[in-house]
Amino acid sequence: MTKRTLFTPYTLGSLSLSNRVVLAPLTRNRAGQGLVPSEFAATYYSQRASAGLLISEATQISRQGQGYQDTPGIYTPAQIDGWHAVTDAVHAKGGKIFLQLWHVGRVSHVDLQENGAAPVSPSALRAATKVFVNNRFEDVSEPRALDISELPGVVSDFRQAAANAIAAGFDGVEIHGANGYLLDQFLKDNANLRTDAYGGSIENRARLLLEVTEAVVSEIGADRTGVRLSPVSPANGVSSSDPQAQFDYVVEQLDALGVVYLHVVEGATGGPRDVAPFDFAALRQRFKNTYIANNGYDLDLATSRLAEDQADLIAFGRPFIGNPDLVERLKRGAPLSAFNPATLYGGGAAGYIDYPTLAESSVSAS
């Protein structure tokens, strides 16, 4: 039996991946006019196409779904065309790419909403977090609770966004159900105080995520649909009083829908892995398809988890920013380059597409 490593091929649904390294979604705030991916986006993603799978930056499904300035959308013809340039560039390098579908819910600001409207949320509870707007980080705005009559429209927006993603040439989509954004707000009981069919019980709080997933699966197929979850991450002010029971249930239902992968943030997003007690292996056991592990992975941890069959694929986020050839660097055991935090959010080519590969560094040093 071939030893499972980061560099062995993997079959994801109908896709053949060259390795088990995944580019995690990374918000870079560089969309252009009309929230179309910038002219540099095709270069940025194609530079990283050596990863087995690329997952795009979070991309809003509607104007209402936006929470940060200059993040791209997937709801207008111009946005679809802009993303097609990205997928064409990635595919030309032999890469595979999914689009992450995003509705931020209450993690937004009135200056980003149409006609200055209040952001929406399961309940009228303001999040203890900030968003990047007006070229700086500002406190989020006070949200309003979504009326139950509006929820079918949210589901429809996800469905249409998935169809648009396929039209833009993506190999599939990832439904963003993590990190304190809208679908996660419904899951977490400190953000969801509803007393209707979408609040209260574990089953009710999971209803919107599952309806969205079912709609996307029916539109583009289960083998092109993944879901991202963050059971215990406190990102954007969410928490759950019953995370194990909640997410055991969610994963069982996602498994029944046959989605191609589960992408799990293990611990606090971008922070410690042991932020709260949780049995991630239980999720792995409840899900028959691909498990993508995320958060704080390096080569050693990734190697051990793959060898122990605790994951199928490993997602890397920030290491990919300064290392477009991360796969090659990991394979060689080469040092990783740091990224410039000043160019992380917003701007142009600098700090986006100008990080050198190992080969380019060697040429410049000689």
Decide: 328 and 309 in contact? Cβ < 8 Å: no
Contact 283, 246 (CB under 8 A): no
Residues β-bridged to residue 132: 137
* Residues near 353 by beta carbon (within 8 Å), at least 6 away in sequence: 40, 43, 44, 47
Q: Tell me which residue has tokens 């149409």.
A: 114
| Rounded-to-integer distance, Cα 97 and Cα 43, Å | 14
Encoded amino acid at 42, one letter: A
* CB distance 307 to 272 below 8 Å: no
Catalytic: 181? yes
- Distance between terminal CA atoms of the chain? 42
d(CA 235, CA 38): 27
The closest of 238, 233, 243 to 126, measured between CA atoms, is 238
* CB contact at 8 A, 159 and 217: no
AA letter at 211: E
Which residues on adjacent β-strands are paired with residue 291?
262
Residue 176's DSSP bridge partners are: 228
Tokens (6 digits) for 150:
């509006």
Q: Which residue among 44, 181, 198, 261 is the active-site one?
A: 181
Radius of gyration of the chain, Cα coordinates, nearest whole angstrom = 19
| Catalytic residue set | 181
